[in-house]
Structure 1
Amino acid sequence: MSPQATGTALRGISAASQKDVLQAVESVDPASAARLGAELFSVVGVLDGAAALRRVLTDPSTELEAKQGLAQSVLGGKVSEETITVVKVAARGRWAAGRDFVDGLETAGVAALVASVDAEGRLDELETELFEVGRTIASDGELRGVVSDRSIPREHKLTLLDRLFEGKVLPQTLELVRQAAAARTGSFERVLERFGETAAARRQRLVALVRVAYQLGDDEQQRLTSALAGKYGRDVHLNIVVDPSVVGGIVVSVGDEVVDGTMSSRLETARRRLAG
């Protein structure tokens, strides 16, 4: 497996260091990758609350042996050796800021969880579940408010998310949803969307948001997937939203590009032309 660009986009020396961290993740046995991802998220939580520790681990003037010894003493017995190894690789790198160091470890955690699902042959399922969880939360104003409210302790949010989704989605999906609730690098919705993009990027696929008036059949989905793959030269994963306001036709968004083929759009265009 080769490392994929995932998570928060880092630049310069931080990007080079993150590449090394992702390579360390890819060297881990896929059977251990889910545990690695969850443990890296726990390490991220510790580092977010320990500025002094972040400074030492990212200080270029501190000897590597001292950094790695500190990582071992802090994490030893609390997480697996695979996780400590990844943290040591991160400590060996050079980072533009302590925040980049922690963001890089979060990205590594996402990559590990995605790799574990890929090894199980359930990557499509993960992508769809992340999208559907995001829609579920976004469609409920009260639920969205709780998840987005930074004044509510994260533990309370996690309890709520577990109650709603545990046993209904893949364990890796739930782990990613829980991490998105930390909203470290953006809103819950944006972070969850980025995690979905990471899953798609593992197979170098694009993600298309499709809005239709009715649920597409398997044949229709396959034709649309093939058409989009032909247009963009890459495989495409469809996230489908049934929207009754779409009066015939389809709206497809791929990244910032919107292909609007709906009947309602054409009617509105005609109405504006008649109105002068």
Structure 2
Amino acid sequence: MKKVSFAEFGGPDVLRLLDAEEPHAGPGQIRVAVRAAGVNPVDWRVREGQILAAHPLELPAGVGLDAAGVVDEVGEGVEGVAAGDRVFGEGSSTYAEFAVLSAWALMPEGLTFEEAAGYPSVVETALRIIREVGVRSGQTLLVSGASGGVGSAVLQIARERGITVIGTAGAANQDYLRSLGALATTYGDGWAERVRRLGRVDAALDLAGSGVIRELVELTGDPHKVVSIADLGAPEFGARFSGVAGSVPDALTEAVDLISRGRLHIPVEKTYPLRDAAAAHIDSQAGHTRGRRVLVV
């Protein structure tokens, strides 16, 4: 089978599309014929060797956590899923023609493989950081860098829970944020004052890692009400860096419910063939995404 792999830490150029042995489902796992794989910032952080404490690995290593595809192997002890089922979920080395998943759910009706591949890690992250930041119904949440995959999920989940959201993004994505129910403003010079004019901030999330933690702490008045998934230096300001996943099966269950009820939709901004994984990483690292980037197998 074909698989994207890297033998040394570094930039996108270390990624190679190689022939590899097919993986097989162990106990409690399934294997899928991958149809699409989500591209997440954690993928290129792992490739660069940034977060080895949370994601230890041995080189050479595969890439990717999220996938959607068709079940073709079911491991020992697995129930409720069979060969031929269309599923989406999380595993390892998903930038490949076959991948083993450790958490999965049946795809909701009407969802394409490309769309489904964009949900697993994004929804788990969104649910986790909303919980960690402690924001409640009736309060206001500020989301810095709100137009990407996680931001898109946060905005919709928060709206569903009665939380007002102020989102920052580039000028081109202001209408997109508003379509998801957020109060929108641009980042750049004077952004904190523009946020103040939109209202009080009870809690804040940093999704872009653009050096805004100090201002987020000032806006909330409490570093314990600030969580980042992108700035490893957040603890220097008393804020929290969140990098350890919670329950992916629970997140997938909630995702299926929200998607099925029409309360959650994350668009796919761009798709890439497997051979263009490096280009997908370059685009992901550049930011300014509206929704998700996905590899198509």
Sort the TM-score into its range (normalised by shorter chain). under 0.3
Q: What TM-score, normalized to structure 1? A: 0.23
Q: What TM-score, normalized to structure 2? A: 0.22
Larger Rg: 1
